[in-house]
Amino acid sequence: MAQLVDLAKTIRSKNAGVDAVTFDIIFDDLDTYRRVLDSGVITPQLIADLYRIDTDTITDFVAFEPAKAIKFTLRRPIPSGSPGDPDIYGAQQYPPLFGIEIP
């Protein structure tokens, strides 16, 4: 088993418009990308569980082999920059992904 943070080259989040945050999990090589993807561990349900949201909040979930990346987008509970928004740029939302265990 390995943690995702040790396998991925980049794990990040960022704004995807005023109402969404997008996440990228990018790998250095195709073998590692396929290992993670083929493990079946990273799913919309896992993301929903990690972020304590309904799966309906996930608007996109894509494995994009040319970039060796897994990408997903979440609807924000409140628009970016609104009162109560804890992360206006969406750039601090990725840490829950670090500890995902990959066989």
Per-chain mean pLDDT for the chain: 97
Please check whether residue 89 lies inside any domain of the structure: no
Number of Cβ atoms within 10 Å of the Cβ of 42:
20
Instruction: Return the pLDDT at 7.
Output: 98
Instruction: Return the pLDDT at 44.
Output: 98
Mean pLDDT of 53-80: 97
Host domain of residue 9: 2-79
CATH number at residue 68: 3.30.70
pLDDT tens per residue across span 5-17: 999 999 999 999 9
Please check whether residue 95 lies inside any domain of the structure: no
Tell me the CA distances in angstroms from 2 to 36, 99, 102, one per residue in order: 10, 9, 5
Please check whether residue 18 lies inside any domain of the structure: yes
Please check whether residue 25 lies inside any domain of the structure: yes
What's the structural domain count of the chain? Answer: 1
pTM metric for this prediction: 0.93
Please check whether residue 73 lies inside any domain of the structure: yes
Backbone angles phi, psi at 75, to 5 degrees: -70, 135
